[in-house]
Structure 1
Amino acid sequence: MIDFRYHLVSLISVFLALAVGIILGAGPLQNAIGDQLTDQVEALRAERTELRESLLETESELSDQNAYALAAGAELVDGSLDGVTVAVVDAEEVTDAVEADIVNQLEAAGARIVAQASLTESWTSVDDAVLRGTVADGQREQLEDMIDEETTTAGVLGAALGLALTETGAQGDSVRSDRSVELYELLSRVGLVESRFEPSGPADVVLLLGGAPVTEAATTGASEQGEDVDVVALVAGLQESAHDVVVAGPTTGDGGIVADVRADEDLAALVTTISGTERAVMRLNVPLAAAAQLADEGGHFGFEPDAVVVPPVVELPDDEDEAGDSGAGDSEDEAGVDDDGDA
């Protein structure tokens, strides 16, 4: 049985240890601990100052590199799309500043913007599923040469949009066909397309712009997407009718239209994509990528592991040059051979 003396000894030991700790802490160890903490604080302050200076230096270098890239890129882009007509379609919520800069880059490359439009919420809203189905069913017969019976509503509407923007008429390549005019008027009338300015001629390339990926928080209270909505089918239908399609959008880390297209192996082999459009220097890639697509050298451009940073620089064929080369060759043959067949 433990008696009172045992408890007394335990209490004395506890108080003795406490007294020793106080004495040591207030005496010999006080200066040592204080000096150690002071040294650590000074080291952290010096490290913070060094990191701040390094960050400022890195930001300055990055700014200089971006300025150089923009200046050099402008020279690289200049003339890459001479004589090419482009239709710009806002497929998601693209900021006005980004879209305006992309349009400026295209025009600086020599392209002519023949249409600028936006897809409305009716392309995705569940409330407009019947509208989409009705419009698609009404156009299946007209588009039977490029779609089949299994093509989804999104695919039919994509093919209709591509024809409305690119099909030429019998009068020549610079004139829209009657079918393209009627299709565009239909898409506008039913509220699927809104125009910044309506098509003034057929486009050689359709540029589909994607905005920032929609997060779960951003969709709170927003209209739900219909079950028939399929971005990949939309782009596939657009490519089937327009043939040369370029999809551009922000970096694909959080998904979006660029990531969806790249994830489909068959579609990714046909459509050129550009990511990183949230950065001014990457928007220089848009005209270069459009030229690569027209030259059958398209691909996927951006900073992702499965993409190439810079598109190839291509020289698009000039119809006048081709005609001139052909004529020069004939003249040379005629001038270089006499009646006897000798040179």
Structure 2
Amino acid sequence: MINFRYHVVSLAAVFLALAIGLVVGTAAANGPLAENLNDQVNKITDEKQQLRDSLEQSRAELKKNADFATEVAPMLLTNKLQNKSVLLIKVDGSDSGDVNTAAEGVAALLGTAGAKVVGTLTVKEKLTAPSSSAILLDTAESSAPPSISGALPNQADGVDTSAALLAAVLVGKAGTPQVEGTRTVLSAYESNGFIGLDGDFKAPAEAVIIVAGAPATGKDANDRKAALLTLTGRFDLAGRVVVAGLSYGGLVSSVRGDASVAKSVSTVDNAVTAYGQVAAVMALVERFGGKTGHYGIGDGASGLLPKTASVTSGS
């Protein structure tokens, strides 16, 4: 009769056989498996190094291109905007750091061209928010100088009214004195969180370069895009405008997609690069010469740079 001891011994034998089988099987497969894993690791390591080398090469090429653009800029721009006054506008957003860097590059090149930057105005996200329309209207009505208030758009669009007011006090023909009450207008919009200011703004500018980044996102993105296009249009009515985008998209694509605005506002879609910054200033030279163009590498661009242009006398 089979007793308990027999069952214990049998179970022990089964587990022992399983253990021996696992050891033997692992030992048999260990060589090929380990070799295969080593091959895969080595392949991934090689691919990673190739990508790293390619990235470093691309960075080196970009630096060379930037250095080249910086070196040729004086030959292309020196004195082309002599004694011209320019307003810089930056559009705040998720990539404000890159927008600031691009704006600094454009400002430096404007100096090379002989232009004077009267100041830098930053468009805050609050200004383009649909919910701001009512307070924008209130701000315009309460701060507009008597000489301008009667000429403001008579409608319920806070962005349009405010853009018209800001353009009226910040942009004008050469030699035009500053509009009385300009500082009051700017302070009102700044204190309400609609704009940021950097500069003296002691005289109106003859032209504007708008530096814009990535397109707006979120449920109100289309409204914000429309607001920026409205602002651009109002400054265009007051003077010459160039939109310098960090990439194709956002304000650049909005301008190029509007047949009316695209006829009088020039665009550059790669202002994140030194080439794009040179192109933006060259495009402004071209605007003073009465021409409009679209430059960069995105849809609608006619080339990387405008043809060398000169400001016509009396323009």
Q: What TM-score comes out, normalization by structure 1 length?
A: 0.67
Name the residue aligned to 1:208. 210
Per-residue CA deviation, residues 250-301 of structure 1 (Å, 9 max, x unaligned), is 1134x3x223222222111111122222223322222111111111222222
How far off its partner does 1:106 sit? 0.8
Per-residue CA deviation, residues 98-157 of structure 1 (Å, 9 max, x unaligned), is 332221111111101123223345523456432212344576996699776568432222
* Separation in structure 2 between the aligned mates of residue 228 and residue 47 of structure 1, nearest angstrom: 41
* Separation in structure 2 between the aligned mates of residue 61 and residue 250 of structure 1, nearest angstrom: 19
How far off its partner does 1:163 sit? 1.6
Give 3-state SS (helix, strand or coil) of 2:180's partner: helix
* Separation in structure 2 between the aligned mates of residue 98 and residue 233 of structure 1, nearest angstrom: 23
Name the residue aligned to 1:119. 123
For the pair 1:246 / 2:242, whether they are aligned, the reply is yes
Alignment of 1:73-84 (within 5 A): 73-84=73-84
* Separation in structure 2 between the aligned mates of residue 227 and residue 36 of structure 1, nearest angstrom: 55
Write the letter of the residue equivalent to 1:83.
N
Name the residue aligned to 1:299. 293
* Separation in structure 2 between the aligned mates of residue 316 and residue 80 of structure 1, nearest angstrom: 6
**What is the aligned counterpart of 1:166 among 168, 171, 176?**
171
**What is the aligned counterpart of 1:317 among 304, 307, 312?**
312
Q: Unaligned regions of 5+ residues in structure 1, if any?
A: 1-22, 323-343
Name the residue aligned to 1:176. 177
How has the CA–CA distance of structure 1 residues 181 and 249 changed in structure 2, closer, same or farther, with 3 Å as cutoff? farther
Name the residue aligned to 1:63. 63
Q: Is the 1:87–1:116 contact (alpha carbons within 8 Å) kept by the matching residues of 2?
A: yes
* Separation in structure 2 between the aligned mates of residue 263 and residue 166 of structure 1, nearest angstrom: 25
Give 3-state SS (helix, strand or coil) of 1:233's partner: helix
Write the letter of the residue equivalent to 1:97.
T
* Separation in structure 1 between the aligned mates of residue 33 and residue 129 of structure 2, nearest angstrom: 66
* Separation in structure 1 between the aligned mates of residue 70 and residue 277 of structure 2, nearest angstrom: 10
Write the letter of the residue equivalent to 1:206.
V
Name the residue aligned to 2:136. 132
Q: Is the 1:166–1:203 contact (alpha carbons within 8 Å) kept by the matching residues of 2?
A: yes
Sequence identity percentage? 21
Write the letter of the residue equivalent to 2:256.
R
How has the CA–CA distance of structure 1 residues 122 and 64 changed in structure 2, closer, same or farther, with 3 Å as cutoff? closer
Name the residue aligned to 1:331. none
**How many positions carry a matched residue from both structures?**
287
For the pair 1:290 / 2:290, whether they are aligned, the reply is no
Name the residue aligned to 2:233. 236
Name the residue aligned to 1:109. 113
RMSD: 4.1
Q: Is the 1:239–1:271 contact (alpha carbons within 8 Å) kept by the matching residues of 2?
A: yes
* Separation in structure 2 between the aligned mates of residue 49 and residue 144 of structure 1, nearest angstrom: 64
Give 3-state SS (helix, strand or coil) of 1:89's partner: strand
Give 3-state SS (helix, strand or coil) of 1:83's partner: coil
Give 3-state SS (helix, strand or coil) of 2:181's partner: helix
Per-residue CA deviation, residues 70-116 of structure 1 (Å, 9 max, x unaligned), is 21234322222112110112232443433322211111111011232
Q: Is the 2:82–2:114 contact (alpha carbons within 8 Å) kept by the matching residues of 1?
A: yes
* Separation in structure 1 between the aligned mates of residue 233 and residue 63 of structure 2, nearest angstrom: 38
Tell me which moved more, 56-65 or 138-147.
138-147
Q: Is the 1:129–1:228 contact (alpha carbons within 8 Å) kept by the matching residues of 2?
A: no
Q: Is the 1:66–1:281 contact (alpha carbons within 8 Å) kept by the matching residues of 2?
A: yes
* Separation in structure 2 between the aligned mates of residue 167 and residue 181 of structure 1, nearest angstrom: 13
Decide which structure has the larger Cα Rg and report it.
1
* Separation in structure 2 between the aligned mates of residue 210 and residue 51 of structure 1, nearest angstrom: 31
Name the residue aligned to 2:10. none
